[in-house]
């Protein structure tokens, strides 16, 4: 962490996946739904489920995961055009009943919302992201949620600045006066830099071991720890001792 120079942030923007909850939990649940749909289509559902989980574990951002999973279990390439669409639908329409947030995430969001304007900026299929927010139970603590794909599809996903600019407009704040909290340097830290803002990186989830490039203003191991730093910048009386699980490396 470096010293904060210049005026303090006026609002906080948080990422969703692997920042507020473990995305692996959602992917496991959605893969299971695909396995059920595969069985209903006459395939070996358990084998498809296992193959899809392996593909997702290799990189959840990669496209064509269901195609590759089917090929891995011996489905002929000529059959993909028929089999893939209903399985993709099973994935995208899956609404898990519950996704447990990271420990302390709800308390941290509550403290942030009391201290400054708060929003969530996330990439992905809008229906999927809405289902995730609902399953975490955190929606009531996130007054503004912007899904970048609604602004122009995959082309405007982070680090494209469009999403953060849209959030700033919703909050009525200059983009450069936002503080971004997220797990991915190449997305969350980079999108903050794209508008002249700063970010706190949280090392957890799929990209926990990713290099700190570009560098964030600060790096923590938990979301409550990142929220504690943000609250200090915002001048809030709430400090780390009031946020459980807040361990801030200095």
In tens, the pLDDT along 72-128 reads 999 999 999 999 999 999 999 999 999 999 999 999 999 999 999 999 999 999 999
124 and 138: one domain?
yes
pLDDT at 181: 98
The CB-side HSE value for 153 (13 A sphere, CA atoms) comes to 1
Reported as a pLDDT band with limits 50, 70 and 90, residue 238 is low
Quote the CA–CA distance of 91 and 175 in Å, as a whole number. Answer: 34
Residue 158 has pLDDT above 70, yes or no: yes
83 and 141: one domain?
no
Residue 242 has pLDDT above 60, yes or no: no
Residue 143 has pLDDT above 70, yes or no: yes
Lowest mean pLDDT of 85-99, 130-144, 145-159, 236-250, name the range. 236-250
Residue 245 has pLDDT above 50, yes or no: no
Residues 6+ apart with CB under 8 A from 5: none
Looking up residue 201, the CATH number of its domain turns out to be 3.40.50.1000
pLDDT at 243: 52
Q: What angle do CA 196, 175, 6 make, to 5 degrees?
A: 55
Q: What are phi and psi of 241, to 5 degrees?
A: -65, -20
pLDDT at 59: 83
172 and 195: one domain?
yes
40 and 146: one domain?
no
Whether 4 is in a domain gets the answer no
107 and 86: one domain?
no
119 and 220: one domain?
yes
Whether 36 is in a domain gets the answer yes
pLDDT at 249: 42
What's the structural domain count of the chain?
Answer: 2
Whether 6 is in a domain gets the answer no
Segments forming the whole domain that contains residue 232: 11-22+100-242
223 and 107: one domain?
yes
Q: Which of 31, 41, 50 is nearest to 80 (CA)?
A: 41
Cβ 37 vs Cβ 87: under 8 Å: yes
pLDDT tens-digit profile of 177-235?
999 999 999 999 999 999 999 999 999 999 999 999 999 999 999 999 999 999 999 98
Neighbouring CB atoms inside 10 A of 208's CB total 12
Q: Which residues pair with 224 in a beta bridge?
A: none
Whether 165 is in a domain gets the answer yes
Residue 250 has pLDDT above 60, yes or no: no
Tokens of 148: 């970048």
Neighbouring CB atoms inside 10 A of 210's CB total 14
Reported as a pLDDT band with limits 50, 70 and 90, residue 248 is very low
Whether 233 is in a domain gets the answer yes
Cβ 205 vs Cβ 24: under 8 Å: yes
pLDDT tens-digit profile of 9-54?
999 999 999 999 999 999 999 999 999 999 999 999 999 999 999 9
């Amino acid at each position: 962490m470096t010293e904060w120079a210049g005026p303090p942030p006026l609002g906080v923007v948080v990422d969703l996946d692997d920042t507020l909850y473990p995305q692996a939990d959602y992917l496991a649940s959605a893969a299971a739904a695909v396995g059920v749909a595969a069985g209903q289509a006459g395939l070996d559902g358990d084998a498809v489920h296992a193959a899809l989980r392996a593909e997702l574990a290799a990189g959840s951002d990669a496209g064509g995961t269901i195609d590759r999973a089917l090929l891995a279990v011996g489905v002929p390439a000529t059959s993909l055009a028929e089999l893939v669409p209903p399985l993709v639908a099973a994935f995208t329409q899956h609404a898990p009943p519950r996704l447990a947030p990271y420990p302390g995430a709800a308390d941290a969001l509550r403290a942030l919302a009391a201290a400054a304007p708060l929003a969530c900026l996330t990439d992905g299929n809008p229906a999927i992201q809405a289902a995730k927010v609902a399953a975490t139970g955190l929606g009531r603590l996130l007054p503004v949620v912007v899904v970048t794909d609604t602004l122009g599809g995959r082309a405007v996903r982070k680090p494209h600045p469009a999403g953060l600019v849209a959030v700033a407009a919703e909050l009525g704040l200059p983009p450069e006066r936002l503080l971004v909290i997220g797990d991915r340097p190449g997305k969350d830290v980079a999108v903050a830099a794209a508008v002249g803002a700063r970010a706190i990186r949280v090392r957890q989830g799929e990209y926990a071991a990713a290099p700190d490039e570009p560098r964030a203003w600060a790096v923590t191991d938990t979301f409550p720890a990142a929220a504690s730093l943000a609250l200090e910048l915002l001048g809030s009386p709430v400090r780390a001792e009031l946020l459980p699980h807040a361990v801030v490396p200095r």
